[in-house]
Amino acid sequence: MLRLGERPLVMGILNVTPDSFADAAPLTGVARAIEAALRIQADGADLVDIGGESTRPGAEPLPAAEELARVLPVIRGLAGRLTIPISIDTYKAEVARAALDAGASIVNDVSGLRREAALAHVVAEHGAALVIMHSRGTPATMAGEAVYEDVAADVASELQASIGVAEAAGVPVDRIIVDPGVGFAKHAAHSYGVLARLPEIVAAVGRPVLVGPSRKSFMREALNDRPPAGRDWGTAAAVTAAVLAGAHLVRVHAVAEMVQVVRVAENIRRHGADG
């Protein structure tokens, strides 16, 4: 069970896709994926997020059957071996249902219920938790939808609308987490703006906030076009900023390193609050 608010939590990323944007080498094979999940737990993650479909900009949608073939054997193989909660990274109701039946307890929807609103009903039926991420369009179209009058206000307003959809489907509000969607339907300036103005978003939505800046392309110019696997120092800066701004969870690739970053940032934040 997640205890949000006591300290920032670390969500470890487990991509079981052949085309992940952020991994130096694709993680293929059920045994390797199970081993990686157990390592994520040993490195100090509070939960693991398993995804079978790439959501990188420009990615084509994946049939549900293929996504299930990638994630279900891993989730089933972790039964009784993993002690931290499993999150399934999907926007598809069919995939969410099967993953929850197999042992996941959280659904992480990068579409914010904009692709399949029925997913919220699946979450409600299973008594699961739901992460609602802010995005627009699909990976193939989202770059063209990165137009904002006020990025913090617009993101908060659209997240509030998605929360309303979830509540209408029967998801209790205390089981909802929001994610402002760094890098999704946002140019670099928008992503930096979300991080810089995160306290406004936290205050506006009134729900725990997850931030996932790990290795994303908004850092590319600042890091002289380093490839994704070379952006962990930049990720550390973004994670620190997120924690100091009030993030309840961070979603990262380099778990062992980012656990250290989060723990130090947490102490800085706590001493600031203590005056």
In single-letter form, the type of residue at position 58 comes to G
Residue with tokens 């699961």: 128
Contact (CB, 8 A) for 75 and 49: no
Residue 198's H or E segment, with its range, is helix 198-205
Beta bridge partners of 252: 12
Contact (CB, 8 A) for 106 and 128: yes
Contact (CB, 8 A) for 168 and 217: no
* DSSP category for residue 229: G
Give the closest residue to 108 by CA, choosing from 245, 211, 225. Answer: 211
Would you please indicate which residues are annotated as catalytic (active-site) residues?
216, 251
Q: What are the phi and psi torsion angles at 182 (to 5°)?
A: -55, 125
HSE-CB of 153 using CA atoms within 13 angstroms? 3
What does the alpha-carbon distance between residue 34 and residue 24 come to, in Å, rounded to a whole number? 18
Q: What would you measure as the largest C-alpha separation in the chain, in angstroms?
A: 53
Residue 133's H or E segment, with its range, is strand 129-133
In this structure, are strands 106-109 and 176-179 parallel, antiparallel, or unpaired? unpaired
